[in-house]
Amino acid sequence: MKNFQYGGQAVIEGVMMRGPREMAVAVRNPRGEIVVERQTLIPIGERFSLLKRPIFRGVVALFEALVLGIKTLTFSANVALEDEEEDEKLSPLESVLTIAAAVGRAVLLFVVIPVAAVHYGARYFSPFVQNILEGFIRIVVFLGYVLGISVMKDIQRVFQYHGAEHKVIHAYEAGEDLSRIENIQKYSTLHPRCGTAFLLMVVLLTIFFFTFLGEQTLFWRITSRIILLPLIAGVAYEIIKFSSRHMDNKAVCLMILPGLWLQKLTTREPDDHQVEVALRALNEVLPPEEKIDLKENSGENFDSSLVYMEASQPVGN
């Protein structure tokens, strides 16, 4: 496996890939062209050494993923809607409001509803039992939410790009010849470092962390869950990072198995054109000595023209 662990996320009709100091998002527009935008990243950890330490780096990674998510979703949506009227495209403010609304829904679904259900429905149980029940309700809500969105047609296309992202990362980490799409297609759409596995790990860890909290009022139960979320996310990040480096250990493989199972809902088998988009994004963030000359591999493998957007200012995450 390579020293740096490349990763990314699926966006609307495309894929974002992140390298050590660069981010690239590749999106297919309505004319079939692949539009690419690259940005230089300035990680917060380079300015504050404390944020490179375990747990802290997980919190930073979560914050950076949210910031990049807003930027890349705005970009991908506007490229995908390139032929639409100007007023139908998303502005940065509209994207921020959309993400804020999504975060609000997440807090309602995964914090307020489980806490309130236990607080009013199981008040005669001990605080320990209440917290266990709350965790199981949170898991059921989370799985129900994932299952619900997985049947939506538009989301299924995003899940195909999600699968393409994983296949490309797998092939790269295996040292595969990336110049041919069929070499990439043989790999799995499931990956141990997936954000889906991370979210499931966060949900599972809430059971462990919250069982140590005593009896609280409804207000403090909700507040404590929100306050502890960054800590739990930091621990989940370290577990995912550790497990990805010890896949030869049977205990580790068993630990990450639920996250891989869940990815069967959040990924779909991509077609060759979707894999090509994911590969274009990865190629943009690879070091010069590892880049693939895709222009020489046109024809049956790479038949889409590239359009480069003007690079934005460096992103100070």
In a domain, 316, yes or no: no
Question: Residue 59 in contact with residue 233, Cβ under 8 Å?
Answer: yes
pLDDT in tens, 77-102: 888 776 555 555 666 677 677 778 88
Give the pLDDT band (50/70/90) at residue 305: low
Q: How many CB atoms lie within 10 A of CB 296?
A: 10
**Partners of 64 in the β-ladder:** none
In a domain, 263, yes or no: yes
Q: Which domain holds residue 78?
A: 7-308
Number of domains the chain is built from: 1
Question: pLDDT at position 159, please?
Answer: 95
pLDDT in tens, 192-243: 888 888 989 999 999 889 888 878 888 998 999 999 999 999 999 999 888 8
In a domain, 100, yes or no: yes
In a domain, 229, yes or no: yes
In a domain, 314, yes or no: no
> How many whole angstroms separate alpha carbon 244 and alpha carbon 51?
21
In a domain, 287, yes or no: yes
In a domain, 313, yes or no: no
In a domain, 254, yes or no: yes
pLDDT in tens, 235-281: 999 998 888 888 888 888 888 889 899 999 999 999 999 999 999 99
Q: Kindly report the length of the chain.
A: 317
Question: pLDDT at position 222, please?
Answer: 92
Question: pLDDT at position 173, please?
Answer: 92
CA distances (Å), 147 to each of 61, 143, 198, in order?
26, 6, 17
User: What average pLDDT does the segment 132-144 reach?
Assistant: 92
